[in-house]
Chain A
Amino acid sequence: MTNNNSNINRRNFIRLSGITGTGLILGLSGKASAVATVANLSNAADAFELGAFIMINKNGEITLFNSKPEIGQGTFQSIPALMAEELEVSLDKVIIKQTGGEKKYGFMQFAGGSMSIRSEYHNLRKVGAAAREMLLKAASTHWNVPVSECYASEATIIHKPSGKKLGYGELAEAATKLEVPKSPTLKDPKDFKILGKPSARPDIPLKVNGTAQFGIDASVPGMVYASIERCPVFHSKLVSFDATAAKKVKGVIAVETVERKHEVYKTTGVAVIAESYWAAVQGRKALIVTWDNDGHDTFNSKNFEQSLRDAAKKETGAVAHQQGDFDNAFAKAPTKLEAFYETPVVSHSPIEPMNCLASFTEGNKLEIWTSTQVPGSLVTDFAKEYNIPVENMKVHTLFNGGGFGRRLYPDYVHEAVQLTKKIGKPVKAIWTREDDTQQGPFRPMTFSAMKGALSADGKAIAFQHKVIAPTLDMKKDYDKSKSDETMTEGISEQKYEIEHMKNLYVHHYMPVPLAAWRAVTSTTLAFSHECFIDEMAHAAKKDGMTFRLEMLTKDSDTKNVLKKLKEVSNWDKPLPAGWGRGVAQYEFFAGQGGYVIEVSKKGTGIKIEKVYAVIDLGTVVNPDMVRAQVEGAATMALTAAIKNGITFDKGKTVQTNYHNNPLVRINEMPKVEVHILANGGAKIKGVGEPGLPPFAPALCNAIFAATGKRIRRLPFDINKIV
């Protein structure tokens, strides 16, 4: 099995092509074959969404095309599984290929926003079901028997009464000549063989024997390597460089300027190109570069954080959401609380550093091999930017050595493309870990000014979450009268029934490259939001679970998540002395998850004893993979809660590599017990992100319960709590 697109002889392949949501287009692509193309488009405007997701060779070989990059979240199994289930084939008997942004696979060729299953669950099942129905019809016609007497199983159509069999390969050609069913019958979920069952991922054997090809592993003949020196002070300008010594390093063949483009952040760096990556790195060390810092070298975290605190006091902010009369209710309430929460800037730090191999060749052709979350826009945006016809673009979407949002941004692809255009050879540009740690883009911090009020009988009656933060679009001239949905993500979507609410956003410009990070702003806002709810619970003399459930009189997924957490964690069971438990949940664009965490005092620090997670999905495709995603999200959340984070001084990132920008290691990570809510329903929720936001607040609420110490600033040192 391979995720490479190479070595396919497209001749004699029968192709069954799907169109999202509306039907199928099929074609027989062979030189002597009569091509029968039948389009059943209910809506011509959907034609651009055409895809070619299933390919059946005459010899029976079946290829399923996966339009969602594999970044560790398991789409290499879960996306083809949707088709395989309906097509009645086993996943271990098919070839899975990653799409490369080709138009026929549609505009959803990206991995982000926990969207993959949500966007494809129905569409790709339909594609598989339509193909199955056509193969059934082809067989029944061949045998001259009613189609109702035939069934599909293991890539074979079987005539029940006679036991006659025909393989898909034998039927594929005839099937392509049939009309595509407009609304194929989907299988009853009770008959599912793959979906909803814990299934092995077909990429895992490749990932344990070293054969999985990541972006960094790509190579082509004549390829050279690049390492790029970028301005250490953000926004500083390249004045001049002396490459004399760099060019003397054995293996160095060229030194070129190169632009880094990350949204509005654009800077010029100096690339050293060499016959080996090691030589490029040595050459880069020998460069003498002069930068004009132009006043940008005074920026530092300490002052910036103070300016956020000042802004919280001075600025009213734009209204993000309003209900009831918060100001009046808060003013009159018998019990009032206020608290200020702070979170850090953090890095994505996937273990595979940013890298891209690009080859620009004669005839204005561009080929790209990379780890990316966005193959679709790589094709369309780069074609536009570099004035290359879309049909001259070829993107190879390789396995991503981690994404976490970082690979939504193709700044590193731009660099390689510019360099191959400049020197006329295929160039593989690889960032060092130091580049990755220092250059960003980073998840911004959010600071939160919280206000809450309780009635005399301890009920939450007024609530305010005021967010003070930069925006992800990094615009300096942001219109401060407007709120920003991304930076106030989730704070107005919680299901707690609080009558008076006014949420606010105060924009504050930060001069560093910023980006979405796994679960985006919910990763910081859930901390302030759900810890403050806990503060209100404490003021109301109630435990966090009871207080929350009392605010949830109506049925909701939030209520279900909390009730499930209560049950699986034995919430009411007394804990040993010195222990404490905390709860938190968060609902946001990607979905919904929650935790109960139990901790104990250990010397001056805290030991995490138990972690119970609940994720609400509605529908689950691969429960084992969901558990893995939540285990991973918890790990990433723990790192963001207790490790350094990123800080700035003199206009630069202070941290450089994993020694001073550490990640949680195996000895620091407790076991996570994951429970999945998948009780059906129309709504399918995301998997990759929802396990992240509620982790830190559940942990900090547990620490408060164990120690009485309220943590209002991340990161904190888990070994020095008391």
Chain B
Amino acid sequence: MIQLNINDKVYEVDASADMPLLWAIRDLVGLTGTKFGCGMAQCGACTVHVNGSPVRSCSFPVAAAAGKKITTIEGMNEKIGEAVKKAWIELQVPQCGYCQSGQIMSATALLKSKPHPTDADIDAAMQGNLCRCGTYQRIRSAIHRAAEMI
């Protein structure tokens, strides 16, 4: 059994050590806001925070997350996360919405380290998150909007 602290709750999961954190979160814990997209850290749909830093949970072994503080979209409730979500709604960012949990996790991490990011900062921080619907220009605007709100 591996102990996971997700969104300030402790879960015991029966997972092989090499199971990606993504599948433990989705299939064993039952939090489905974190999405599967590529399985090789190319699309960012599975982004969660581990000890405050964004990681691609599809390529992060569950054993490596044991004892660490994991935050998923469902638990992204502190001030910056709330501002990001509010900006996402205000600017109507999502289309299909499938990649947006990951986008929001990456955007929140960016705003934590850079409260007033430039376009170049946004490009650098958000490049790892693909959006097939093409919501990039709204993501950019929403990050600037969230920065204003914080």
Contact = CB atoms under 8 A, between A and B. Distances in A.
Given A210-B72, A351-B43, A666-B127, A628 B92 contact: yes
Contacts of B51: none
Contact of A399 (B36, B97, B126): B97
Interface centre among A207, A401, A625 (most CB of B within 10 A): A207
B1 to A, nearest CB: 14
B23 A352 contact: no
B96 A352 contact: yes
Interface residues of A, number: 63
Q: How large is the interface on B (under 10, 10 to 19, 20 to 34, 35 or more residues)?
A: 35 or more
Majority SS of interface residues in chain B? loop
Interface in B21-63: 23, 27-28, 30-40, 42-43, 45
B17 to A, nearest CB: 12
A671 B122 CA distance: 14
Contacts of A351: 35, 37, 43, 45, 96, 98-99, 130-132
B96 A403 contact: yes
A208 B94 contact: yes
B135 to A, nearest CB: 7
Given A350-B132, A632-B134, A433 B38 contact: yes
B23 A277 contact: yes
Contacts of B37: 351-353, 433, 658
A683 B127 CA distance: 40
A632 B97 contact: no
B138 interface: yes
Contacts of B148: none
Contacts of B31: 210
Majority SS of interface residues in chain A? loop
A621 B135 CA distance: 20
A666 B134 contact: no
Contacts of B85: 208-209
Interface in B80-112: 85, 88-89, 92-101, 104
A659 B131 CA distance: 14
B39 A402 contact: no
A210 B94 CA distance: 12
Given A278-B19, A350-B96, A434-B39, 14 more contacts: A204-B88, A208-B89, A276-B23, A351-B45, A351-B131, A353-B36, A402-B133, A432-B39, A433-B40, A433-B43, A631-B137, A635-B131, A657-B40, A666-B139
Interface of B: 15-16, 19-20, 23, 27-28, 30-40, 42-43, 45, 72-74, 85, 88-89, 92-101, 104, 122-124, 126-127, 129-140
16 contacts: A207-B97, A210-B73, A214-B35, A278-B27, A351-B98, A399-B98, A401-B35, A402-B133, A430-B36, A433-B40, A632-B134, A632-B135, A634-B134, A657-B38, A658-B42, A665-B136
